[in-house]
Amino acid sequence: MAFTITSTGISDLLILEPQVHVDDRGHLLEVFNGKRFAEHGLPRSFMQANHSRSRRGVVRGLHFQWDPPMGKMMRVTTGSAFLAAVDIRQGSPTLGRWFGMEVSAESKHQLWAPAGFARGFCVLSEWAEVQYLGTGTYNPACESGIRWDDPAVGVEWPLPDGVEPVLSAKDRVAGTLAEWLARPEADRFEYEG
């Protein structure tokens, strides 16, 4: 089994498209292969797996964690969602730049966003289930977020017509990218280009 890796135009932020084997029984695909991942500079191991279910219009993010630094491999297993990542690495030529793509259970694509990216998603279908593998374990004392609608970042969330975003209390009060970059913890993410 194999997968195709595509650049997003932002260093280290990658799209993985698995080879899907289909027959009259259904399908089979490889979601993770430590050896192949290592060959492409991706993590060989993950420390935590999360699975969320959300309804249409839910926006989660943009989240990140600095201790331990956590990269995430994201995929959609039911429905469809718009996955987004923002470069928050000090010194990066793409600092503040975002990338987003619609991912569905049918497309089976994955988005890899290493530590140094704020990540989130918006549900496009009636319901969506998003699963992600993290390279670190969750530490609420060292997590933060950037406003989903920070105008300096400008993520173009494709909310369905007439659907207002459904946000958590935490996401409603998240700071801006500029506020995050002014914090001493922001130095934990430096571009190593």
Per the residue annotation, which of 40, 109, 132, 191 is the catalytic one?
132
Contact 155, 148 (CB under 8 A): yes
Does CATH place domain 45-188 in 3.30.460.10?
no
Per the residue annotation, which of 21, 27, 63, 138 is the catalytic one?
63
pLDDT tier at 3, thresholds 50, 70, 90: confident
> 12-59 pLDDT, tens per residue?
999 988 887 778 888 777 777 778 888 888 888 899 999 999 999 999
Query: Other CB atoms closer than 10 Å to residue 69's CB: what's the count?
Result: 15
Question: Would you call 106 helix, strand, or coil by DSSP?
Answer: coil
Per the annotation, the verdict on 63 as an active-site residue is yes
Per the annotation, the verdict on 132 as an active-site residue is yes
> 62-113 pLDDT, tens per residue?
999 999 999 999 999 999 999 999 999 999 999 999 999 999 999 999 999 9
Closest CA to 65 of 1, 10, 114: 114
DSSP class per residue in 70-101: --EEEEEEESEEEEEEEE--BT-TTTT-EEEE
pTM (predicted TM-score): 0.93
Closest CA to 52 of 81, 29, 28, 31: 81
* Res 181: pLDDT: 97
Report the alpha-carbon angle 182-61-144, nearest 5.
35
Domain boundaries along the sequence of the chain? 45-188
* Res 85: pLDDT: 98
